[in-house]
Chain A
């Protein structure tokens, strides 16, 4: 039985609501100890990334986010059979548990900022011209002129990046006040000054939103994008890259898990 995996949740309970995922299949929880893997059964292999499937997948994860802490799983992760799923859960158990605890009650927000790169560079060129040139004018060789041109461009780029850093710092100081964690992408393109994600506690999301509005109103020459709340896609940290455990690790984990299973079993009787 092929299981389409949506996310890992901090619960071994069954999902009370009726949630439907890909192929309209019912979504349910396969527990292991005190966590669970939320899946639905899938019959057809997925042909590529379609808008419909992506939206269905995301909708399921967001629905689960309402009642659980969830570690969202990458799109189109299909596990071959329940046994394999449980085995995978076992080997990742510690990683999943750590992440679920760390990300509990937190939401991800995205902020992107566009600035007018061309105008910024124009201003820099003007400023540099005023400051005078560094290279002597007397160069006549092709090679030397090449270097001179490259160097001028280098100076402009350098100042461009320095300006970006300053801008980002100003904004980040504001947003960080309400964030537990963050990831900042600087100048992914010339115009995309900032592509950031922030991990914010649920209770502080309004403060965070206000901080964003404040910056937006303070710096009006820029363009802004605000997104969220999202499940914590950007803040899941897995120490284990593959599902393979060394034998001794496997034995330790098995002991911990069976103890847990025993406890869980006793409670549910």
Chain B
């Protein structure tokens, strides 16, 4: 003990910056240059979609037959579609819907995934086996055909309950969320398996904490890192899923121009109006790629085992 004291004292004289766990994560995140740049791009995209319609006040459904399928110009920076509607305004509006769907679907997937994973992780034996069988079953379901089937069967009744736009929104969020939770559940379960044997959890249990408190206060916060990473990737997957549905003509109705819907409308006019497809397509690509890079950076930052 004596011999170690001078060493630690000399260590103390050096200026050591103490970072909180989140500060440490942020430091590791910034080392991933593409991820940092992507965070900026993502911030710009979100700002454009949220604030853009306030600045660019062209209505999304102003039909102008004197200016159909025009390329980019000063009056219409992203050009117009076959009814002369301004594409910039439509994309800003559609981006809100696309992002809102993706975030809501991600929230649902994470909620279901954490619940299933936590249940499986704290209960040994048959409950765990049954939940994991369910997870594996969902992983081996053909997602897109089932998404299409569910939308085909449930679109009309939900429209009756929530209105034409709300119904499609609720349905798409529900079905995308229903098929995105499996990865989260597996991650959470794996984390629970290693964490629940740790000394601090045992100590909490010995102090008389209820199982719910042990899970909520002691295990879940420590299992959060991989969940955040998986949630980020889920947002990208949900954006692709929503635009795929809209692209197949089975997502939102034409008066809600999400990016996928714009692509669907543009695909029969490729020869005369390429810009109509290029702008929304590039928007989807840019958003999804930025989110994937941020996910990569978050993995470096929050999952210390993977850092080399």
Same complex: no
